[in-house]
Amino acid sequence: MISLPAALDARMQREAELTFFEYMVLSVLSEQPDRTLQMSDLAARTAASLSRLSHVAARLEKRELLTRARVPGSGRRTVAMLTEAGYQAVVAAAPGHVAAVREYLIDELEPHDLAALCRIGTAVAAALEREQLDAASTAAPRETSTA
């Protein structure tokens, strides 16, 4: 399982010229009604630090796949907005990503193994969500710049 993210990343780069994390960022934005999300929320949804997300967003911005803007009157809050080119990149990359997940994981498992994997994934996700909520309740709210 440890090599799965690296395999997905290598295939994504080969087929779509995106890192797996870049694809995740664009994919999360594509799922929003207005294709826009605050950077802090995007970081949480991609399990990344704001610093890492800011660096990746800068790369994606140079490729015109997303734009960033400060929220007027909100201090340092910044939103990321998926461009049409970014949306098209996600649409083009998604079938290859789904095929890779099927090839590397789903097709290799028996139905009872898939059911167990779903139960395990749900339990792990719940534990991580609890930890995130605990961390958020003890941390002071903070938004970083668009580095």
Write the pLDDT tens digit of every residue in 85-117: 999 999 999 999 999 999 999 999 999 999 999
User: Cα–Cα distance between 10 and 110 in angstroms, integer?
Assistant: 26
Enumerate the β-bridge partners of residue 37: 80
- Give the per-residue pLDDT at 73: 78
- Give the per-residue pLDDT at 89: 98
Collect all residues with Cβ–Cβ distance below 8 Å to 70 and sequence separation of at least 6. Answer: 76, 77, 78, 146
Q: Give, in degrees to the nearest 5, the angle at Cα 66 between 65 and 69.
A: 160
Q: Is residue 31 over pLDDT 90?
A: yes
- Give the per-residue pLDDT at 147: 46
Q: What is the pLDDT of residues 114-142, one digit of tens each?
A: 999 999 999 998 998 888 777 767 765 55
Only one residue has tokens 């990503």, namely: 97
CATH code of 3-107, in short, is: 1.10.10.10
Q: What is the pLDDT of residues 12-25, one digit of tens each?
A: 999 999 999 999 99
- Residue with the larger pLDDT of the pair 128 and 81: 81
This prediction has a pTM of: 0.82
Q: What is the pLDDT of residues 44-65, one digit of tens each?
A: 999 899 999 999 999 999 999 9
The closest of 77, 91, 108, 105 to 5, measured between CA atoms, is 105
User: How deeply is 43 buried, as exposed, middle or buried, from its count of CB atoms within 10 A (0-12, 13-18, 19+)?
Assistant: buried
Domain boundaries, given as residue ranges, for the chain: 3-107, 110-138
